[in-house]
Amino acid sequence: MLIIILISVVIYLAVKHEDGEDNQSSPTMITSSSFGTHEGKEVTQYTLKNNKGTVIKILNYGGIITNILVPDKNGKNGDICLGFDDMKGYATNGPYFGALIGRYANRIANGRFTIDGKTYQLDINNGPNALHGGKVGFDKRLWDSKVVGDVLELTYVSADGEENYPGEVKVTVRYQLTEDNELVIRYSATTSAKTVINLTNHAYFNLAGQGSGTIFDHNVTINADKYTPVDSTSIPTGDISDVQGTAWDLRTKTNIGEVIHSVPGGVGYDHNYCFGKTGWQKYMARVEHPSSGRFLEMYSTEPGVQFYTSFYLNETGKGGAAYEKFGAFCLEAQHYPDSPNKPNFPTTLLAPSETYLQTTTYKFGVM
């Protein structure tokens, strides 16, 4: 009789677990609310929250990550993502805070590239070059959105000729917050004609909390032994150089404040680090903030990552916070800048028979 009772209890507990009762590993919850309007259309803000208390908020306008709230070593949540309080700020969003970038992230020299003998001229919006998709890139578009379980799915159809890029491109981006405090971003895209594509997210991080001053007290590791040197307009020269013996050698944990002023040019880091291979997620970078105990790790299938330390930052952000020069860092998974004009770089050409795929993961934690 005792054996029968014990078996019954075990079965009952197992059924409770399968039904979700007392189950601490239930998936992330996603809720939504209005975030104002853009050109007469409602903008929705989605809130992703896991059982660890991590909260990430994302707009269907530009796929913008507006907030990332993660605990410090004392368990206190803080917002480590720079941004604005309302749509008025994001409607212009000069720094591209938190936004999806496309069709082509980073720079294309003179805004020109050639496919099958035909030259395409893009808008010039960064010195003599094209930057981040043009005047109205993916960051300034209203995306279709839906929630699929614990995933926020955004879709956008970029018309043939939009911003002078060839081909109709259909893009899907999926955001997922896991119970391991990972924000996983999965991208896919197809095209109706040969085109170039290079997608990323442009989140600005300060692990001390947004608006907390410079990132000089952060430590960084970038797991790359090569980078792409640039000219005076930030276009790669075409060389792929060793970081050994240079200011770009961040392969071991390095205090940002101690090295940032040694970068030639005086503007800090705004450079592409090379990982070469695609198709599997590689450990790319880790940034730590000793005082709060927070860390961020980055993994991606992309061949490169742009490390940017926000020299040009000068904005008033959330809660009236002053965002100053060197007040944040970005880790933008990408193909190399100006790849369409550099045959030795990994190609960004997408044909109608192919599917563009990318996965990037940001992992948050406490040391």
At 64-114, the pLDDT tens digits run 999 999 999 999 999 999 999 999 999 988 999 999 999 999 999 999 999
What pLDDT score was predicted for residue 19? 35
What pLDDT score was predicted for residue 79? 98
Q: What is the pTM of this model?
A: 0.92
Residue type, 359: T
Residue 222 clears pLDDT 80, i.e. is over it: yes
What mean pLDDT is predicted for residues 303-318? 97
Nearest to 150 by CA among 178, 109, 113: 178
Residue 326 and residue 205 in contact, taking contact as beta carbons nearer than 8 Å: no
User: pLDDT, tens digit, for every residue of 69-82?
Assistant: 999 999 999 999 99
Residue 302 clears pLDDT 50, i.e. is over it: yes
CA R_g for the chain: 22
Known binding-site positions for beta-D-galactose:
106-107, 202-204, 270
Of the candidates 202, 218, 271, 335, the residue annotated as catalytic is: 202
CA 158 – CA 310 distance, rounded (Å): 29
Q: Assess whether 202 carries a catalytic annotation.
A: yes
Question: 114 — phi, psi (to 5°)?
Answer: -125, 135
What pLDDT score was predicted for residue 4? 39
What pLDDT score was predicted for residue 26? 56
Q: Assess whether 153 carries a catalytic annotation.
A: no
The angle at the Cα of 261, spanning 83 to 362, to the nearest 5 degrees, equals 40
Mean pLDDT over each residue of the chain, to the nearest integer: 93
Residue 308 clears pLDDT 70, i.e. is over it: yes
What mean pLDDT is predicted for residues 258-265? 96
Residue 243 and residue 225 in contact, taking contact as beta carbons nearer than 8 Å: yes
Indicate the fold that domain 29-366 takes in CATH.
Beta-galactosidase; Chain A, domain 5 (2.70.98)
Of the candidates 163, 302, 332, 335, the residue annotated as catalytic is: 332
Give me 201's structure tokens.
């997210």
Residue ranges per structural domain of the chain = 29-366
What pLDDT score was predicted for residue 36? 97
**Omega prior to 103 cis, within 30 of 0:** yes
Known binding-site positions:
106-107, 202-204, 270
What mean pLDDT is predicted for residues 337-359? 97
Helix or strand run (H / E) with residue 289: strand 282-289
Residue 22 clears pLDDT 80, i.e. is over it: no
What mean pLDDT is predicted for residues 291-312? 98
- Following CA atoms 255, 249, 224, 264 in sequence, which dihedral angle do they give, to the nearest 10 degrees? 100
CA 185 – CA 300 distance, rounded (Å): 9
